[in-house]
Amino acid sequence: MRVAAVVVAAGKGTRFGSRDAKALERLSGEPLLVHSARAMAESGVVDRIAIVAPADRIEEFEGILRAVPLGRASDSPEKTAEPTKGVADGPGRAAETIGGDAGPIEIDVVGGGRTRQESVARGLDRVFEAYGPDASSDCVLIHDAARPLVPGAVIRRVVDALAAGHPAVVPALPVADTIKRVERIADGGRARLGASLGGSGAGAAENESEKAGSGGAASGGEADAGLERVVETHDRTLLRAMQTPQGFHLDAILRAHRDFAEKGEEEASAAPDDAALVEAAGLPVVLVRGSERSMKITRPIDLAIAQLLADDPSLGA
Ligand SMILES: Nc1ccn([C@@H]2O[C@H](COP(=O)(O)OP(=O)(O)OP(=O)(O)O)[C@@H](O)[C@H]2O)c(=O)n1
Ligand SMILES: C[C@](O)(CO)[C@H](O)COP(=O)(O)O
C-alpha cells in the first residue's frame, strides 16, 4: 500500500492578516509549509508529497522546498501498521508495505484553487497522475500546511486505521467549550456585537463570516452586524473537533472530490473538510485520537501559541 500526502498551502491567510502567503509565516525560523512537509516526510509512512501552492508562486515554493531537502527519517518508527486501538479492523490494505522503499521522498508542487476544496482536488489529481491507474489500493493523507506541529504518532495512527481497511480516517479531539447553534437577530445593524463574537474586531468578524458561509453564525457586513440568539445547545460529549491529516483510500476520496467538484468553486458551498465529502457520498468516517500539538494556525495568536509548543516538545504531547 502506497501512501501519498497532499499538503495544502495555497490559502491567503485572510484571518491571519497575512501580507504574504500564510504558509510562509515563520515558526522557529522556518516557513509553516516546511514544518508540515517535514512532518509528513519524517513520519516514515509517506512515499510522496504533493504540495499545493498559490497558482502564481509554484516556482518560488519549489525553491523553498529544494533548499531544505526532506527525507524519510532513517530512525523513524516501524513502517508496518499495527491495528489502531479503538478502531475496528476492516479488510486491510497490504499493511506490510506502508511507506515504500527508503530513499528521498518525491515532492511535487502544483497550483491551488479558489477554495481549500479546489486546492485539495488539484493535489489529488497530481497524486493520481503519479501513481497511475493502478492506484486502487493506495491511500492519501490530506494535511493543512497551517498545522505545522502535527506529531508523527498522529500521522501513523491515521495510516494504521487506513491499513486496517477504513476508507476515511480523521484525527480529532473532544471540544473544551460548550457549543451552541445560533441564529441572527435582524436589528438593522444597530447592535454591533458581531464584531466581538467574530474575533478581535469587525474585520475579523467579517472574515469569519465569509468562512462560515451564508448560514454562518458570526455576523459580517452592515445588514448582518447584529446580535445572535441561541437556538440550541449541543451535547458536548458527542462533539469532536476535526484535525488533519485526514486519511483516505485514494479511490474513495477521488470519487468524492470529483462528484462534488462544483460545490468547491465557491467558499459558501465548499466542504469545510475532506471527510465531509466522503460523508456526503455515504461512506463511513472513523476518528482516531488527534493532538493538541496539531493546532491550526488561523490568527496571529495561534502562531504565538505554536511557538511555545515548538519550544517545548513536552507541551501537549
Ligand atoms: N484556496 C485555498 C484555501 C486554503 N488552502 C489551505 O488550506 C489550509 C486551511 O485553510 P485556512 O487555515 O483557512 O487558510 P487560509 O485559507 O489561508 O486562511 P483564511 O481563510 O483566513 O484566508 C491552509 O493550509 C491553506 O493554505 C488552500 O490550499 N487553498
Ligand atoms: C480541514 C480543517 O482543518 C479541519 O478542521 C478545517 O476545516 C479547515 O478550515 P479552514 O477554515 O479552511 O481553515
% of the chain with per-residue pLDDT over 90:
71
- Among 144, 179, 278, 285, which residue has the most ligand 2 atoms within 8 Å of its CB, making it the best to mutate? 144
Q: Give the CA distances from residue 211 to residues 204, 206, 268, in Å, rounded to whole numbers and listed in that order.
A: 11, 9, 7
- For residue 22, the model assigns a pLDDT of 97
* Range with the poorest average pLDDT among 39-48, 85-94, 129-138, 161-170: 85-94
Residue 242 identity: M
In sequence order, what E strands does the chain have?
A: 3-8, 26-27, 30-31, 48-53, 106-111, 139-144, 168-174, 180-184, 228-233, 240-242, 246-249, 286-289
Q: Cell triple for residue 73? A: 527519517
User: Does residue 258 carry a pLDDT above 80?
Assistant: yes
C-alpha cell at 59: 516556482
Q: What is the pLDDT of residues 129-155, one digit of tens each?
A: 999 888 778 999 999 999 999 999 999
Predicted confidence band at 73 (pLDDT cuts at 50, 70, 90)? low
Which of 7, 14, 18, 22 has most ligand 1 atoms within 8 Å of its beta carbon, as the pocket-test mutant? 22
Return the residue whose CA atom lies nearest to atom 1 of ligand 2. 273
**What are the domain boundaries of the chain?**
3-173+239-311, 180-236
Sorting pLDDT into bands at 50, 70 and 90, what band is 246?
very high
Ligand 1 and 123: CB distance under 6 A = no
pLDDT of residue 93: 57
Is residue 315's pLDDT more than 50?
Answer: yes
Instruction: Supply 131's cell numbers.
Output: 501513481
Q: Whose CA is nearest to atom 5 of ligand 1?
A: 11
**Ligand 1 center to 12 CA (angstroms):** 6
All cell numbers assigned to 257: 472530490
Q: Find the mean pLDDT for residues 104-110.
A: 91
SS3 assignment, position 215: coil
Q: Where are the alpha helices (DSSP H) in 164-299?
A: 194-198, 202-212, 221-224, 250-259, 274-280
**Rounded to 5, what percent of the chain is helix, strand, coil?**
35, 20, 45
Q: Which helix (H) or strand (E) holds 47?
A: none
CB of 83 closer than 8 Å to CB of 90: no
With a CB cutoff of 8 Å and minimum separation 6, the contacts of 101 are none
**186 has a pLDDT exceeding 80:** no
Residue 197 has pLDDT above 70, yes or no: no
* pLDDT for 68 beyond 80: yes
CA distance 163 to 159: 6
Could you tell me which of 147, 150, 142, 146 has the C-alpha nearest to residue 119? Answer: 142
Closest CA relative to residue 123, chosen from 53, 63, 60: 53
- N-terminal to C-terminal alpha carbon distance within the chain: 29
CA distance 115 to 122: 11
**Does the structure show a pLDDT above 50 at 243?**
yes
Share of the chain above pLDDT 70, in %: 78
Helix (H) or strand (E) holding 26: strand 26-27
Write down the CATH superfamily of domain 3-173+239-311: Spore Coat Polysaccharide Biosynthesis Protein SpsA; Chain A (3.90.550.10)
- pLDDT for the residue numbered 88: 37
Residue nearest to atom 9 of ligand 2 (CA): 272
CA of 83 to the centre of ligand 1 (A): 32
What is residue 206's predicted lDDT score, i.e. its pLDDT?
47
